[in-house]
Structure 1
């Protein structure tokens, strides 16, 4: 198994409703992209968040599935929406379980 962790930071103009829509779109990726064992995303409520408003974890069945995830057209659609609503920065961590 492989774990993919992402922290997302948005501009001040991004609304909570836009972030909620992003979360819904992201969670649906499991229906479209093979090899996703689990996907979770939500608002970051930590007081130590350093401005990162959303956390994402995706667990993949294999390293190959993780490699295929990034360029997959459905993932690219979600990423385009995140940029459209004001994505400013992201931190990504991948590791093998």
Structure 2
């Protein structure tokens, strides 16, 4: 299995409602993008966040599923929306789990 972890930082001008929309769009990946086992996402409340607003974890069946996830049209659509609303930075960590 693959664990895909994403931290997302938006502009200070990005509204909470816009970030909520990102969360709703991303949660809709379940059942649409093949290979997803689990998906969790939410607003970051940590004071140690270094300004990152949103955390996402996606568990996928294997590396091939991760590759397909990254180029899936729904994934690209959400990425475009994030750029429109003020995406500043993304940190991604992918690792294999037993």
Q: How many equivalent pairs are there? A: 97
Please, which runs of 5 or more residues in structure 1 have no aligned partner?
A: none
**In the TM superposition, what whole-angstrom CA distance separates every residue of 1:4-63 from its partner, at most 9, and x where no partner exists?**
000000001100000001000001011210000000100000000000000000000111
After TM superposition, list the pairs within 5 Å mapping 1:12-91 onto structure 2: 12-91=12-91
Residues in 2 aligned to 1:85 and 1:41: alpha-carbon distance in whole angstroms: 18
Residues in 2 aligned to 1:82 and 1:30: alpha-carbon distance in whole angstroms: 19
Secondary structure of the corresponding residue to residue 71 of structure 2: coil
Q: Which TM-score applies when normalising by structure 2?
A: 0.97
Q: Which TM-score applies when normalising by structure 1?
A: 0.98
Residues in 2 aligned to 1:41 and 1:57: alpha-carbon distance in whole angstroms: 6
